[in-house]
Amino acid sequence: MSDAPTYFRQNHLLGIEPLHPLEITEILDLADSYVELNRQTQKHADALAGLTQINMFFENSTRTQASFELAGKRLGADVMNMAMQASSIKKGETLIDTAMTLNAMHPDLLVVRHPHSGAVDLLSQKVNCAVLNAGDGKHEHPTQALLDALTIRRAKGRLHRLNIAICGDIAHSRVARSNLILLGKMENRIRLIGPPTLVPGHFAEFGAEIYDDMHEGLKDVDVVMMLRLQKERMDGGFIPSEREYYHRFGLDADKLAQAKPDAIVMHPGPMNRGVEIDGTIADDINRSVIQEQVEMGVAVRMAAMDLLARNLRSRRQGEAA
Ligand code: NCD
């Protein structure tokens, strides 16, 4: 149970960027075993028994927070959710002061979502527990990319040499960034599809091909990953109208017909039905793996926290010796 990880060397999970492909594979392999556990009626393990997990969400979240909470509880941690909207931050306390206060309560795992890119990284330097990034601004959302990778690997039987289209609001999406990095490290061919306002040219640096036409971009892909229009991160003028956007970039049966016949459709949620995706496709159990993504989310977070906790224990043992 608490053997040292074979490859996973991280003290925190702040992004996909620092991970070696073998570390990614180790998380996914362990997550596969947690998928099995989660399908049992009796779903308790004790990898985090005795540890305290604090979830600090400075941005609204439904599925990610619930997923982290369930993951911690299934592994036996004491889990606390901080209602950050109502916290001292509102009274003017800085992020670091809040972090130091929590740190004094001796948490072992801190799960943090924050609207500013880099905030979670900064926080990790001030505390002495393992920090997991649950989404920081437009920067990274590592557990989302890992759960997407696990979903793809289980549906396609592999996680390399696939043609993968990431569509829509790339510019504002930490999900897209983390996925680009992960899928690139695993040697897939990635296409980014969207209007130039939402797919800035510099994204080509990630080794992706850029398209502004869905019919062209979706041709023969194995995976179609749709993204939510991040209206809360836009300051106007990015799309002409939602109707026009749906017409050109919304995933409907006609556009999906360009992809391989067995292509899967993904979406991280929450979805805007009729804006970026047709509701019928989202619900089509033969094409859509959106529910599987949610299931994989819990398993991947269990695996990530398990591996981080093992490293935390050995680090602390080393310090005590
Ligand atoms: C994503 C996020 O918060 O970045 N949601 C999620 O974690 N399931 C995607 C989004 O908000 O569109």
pLDDT of residue 92: 66
**What is the spatial distance between Cα 10 and Cα 90, in angstroms, rounded to a whole number?**
32
Between the CA of 139 and the centroid of ligand 1 the distance, in Å, is: 12
* Number of other CB atoms surrounding residue 212 within 10 Å: 16
Report whether residue 303 contacts ligand 1, using a CB cutoff of 6 Å. no
Q: Which amino acid is at 197?
A: T
Say whether 207 sits in a helix, a strand or coil.
coil
Between the CA of 28 and the centroid of ligand 1 the distance, in Å, is: 20
State residue 154 phi and psi, 5-degree precision.
Answer: -75, -35
Cα dihedral: 276, 277, 279, 280 (round 10): 160
Cα dihedral: 19, 24, 30, 34 (round 10): 100
Percent of the chain with pLDDT over 90: 83
- Mean pLDDT, residues 48-72 taken together: 95
Between the CA of 174 and the centroid of ligand 1 the distance, in Å, is: 8
**Structure-model confidence comparison of residues 183 and 230, the more confident one:** 183
pLDDT tens per residue across span 121-149 = 999 999 999 999 999 999 999 999 999 99
Report whether residue 64 contacts ligand 1, using a CB cutoff of 6 Å. yes
pLDDT of 236 strictly over 80: no
pLDDT of 90 strictly over 70: no
pLDDT of 262 strictly over 60: yes
55, 138, 144, 174: which to mutate for ligand 1, most atoms within 8 A of CB?
A: 144
Name the pTM for this structure.
0.96
Residue owning tokens 């991040």: 230
pLDDT of 89 strictly over 90: no
